[in-house]
Chain A
Amino acid sequence: EAGVTQFPSHSVIEKGQTVTLRCDPISGHDNLYWYRRVMGKEIKFLLHFVKESKQDESGMPNNRFLAERTGGTYSTLKVQPAELEDSGVYFCASSQDLGQLNTEAFFGQGTRLTVV
């Protein structure tokens, strides 16, 4: 079974440009999460989708970040325009919904974004 996959694995862009990160969750997982780790700091929650709906987007840093999950399958996270402080590793995770918390969240490898 394929795990959570993220594209690209690395991205280097100039300040002011736009970048779109993609996450393909495990098939059948309704829950999809985005997290970000800025170098040397904690991994921080960005947002949570349940199918195509945003359940919680309290961690989104500002309106330069736009996440979508059309059709409830893969998700994209667009940063426009990118700033230097957006550099970091962006993780995606997915989990099943069994109505109880014995499920596990599975993480992708992350996308390393460098804004220069």
Chain B
Amino acid sequence: AQTVTQSQPEMSVQEAETVTLSCTYDTSENNYYLFWYKQPPSRQMILVIRQEAYKQQNATENRFSVNFQKAAKSFSLKISDSQLGDTAMYFCAFMKHVKTRGGSNYKLTFGKGTLLTVNP
């Protein structure tokens, strides 16, 4: 079974600064996907960034980037130029590549989450 560990229950950062959220995982799979989701207070959880394990290049989405270390099973999220709207609970998630008759299976394994507060 896969496990995902987020060792930082809470973090804070000053507006405009950079913060890194850590995530490690354990799996025996070789093909899998990693995700960071963000849930702002009282709002939907939204996908921030995804990484395919077979890709060596780290994924980047604007101010969000990841440091994917496959051998170390580490998948940290870096937020640059933090904004007040980045305040949210951040969840790291793992998904192994499962082909079903439906074509896809988002059976995600989540970490416990990191509550990030961006201070003005």
Contact = CB atoms under 8 A, between A and B. Distances in A.
Interface residues of B, number: 27
B84 interface: no
B110 A44 contact: yes
A40 B9 CA distance: 9
Question: Is chain B's binding surface mostly helix, strand, loop or mixed?
Answer: loop
A40 B112 contact: yes
Chain A interface size, as a band, is: 20 to 34
A97 B104 contact: yes
A57 to B, nearest CB: 11
A31 B110 contact: no
B91 A43 contact: yes
Interface string B107-119: 1111111000000
A70 B103 CA distance: 21
Interface in A61-89: none
Given A95-B104, A97-B103, A100-B103, A107 B45 contact: yes
Interface of A is mostly: loop
Contacts of A31: 102, 104-106
Contacts of A107: 37, 44-46
B106 to A, nearest CB: 4
Contacts of B45: 91, 107, 110
Contacts of A95: 104, 106
Interface in B61-110: 91, 93, 97, 100-110
Given A43-B110, A55-B101, A97-B102, 13 more contacts: A33-B106, A33-B107, A48-B106, A97-B103, A97-B104, A98-B103, A99-B104, A100-B103, A103-B104, A105-B108, A107-B37, A107-B45, A109-B44
Closest 8 CB pairs of A and B: A50-B102, A43-B110, A105-B106, A107-B45, A99-B103, A97-B103, A42-B110, A109-B44
23 contacts: A3-B44, A4-B44, A31-B102, A31-B105, A40-B112, A42-B4, A42-B109, A42-B110, A42-B111, A42-B112, A43-B91, A45-B107, A45-B109, A50-B102, A55-B100, A100-B103, A100-B104, A101-B104, A103-B104, A105-B108, A106-B44, A107-B45, A109-B43
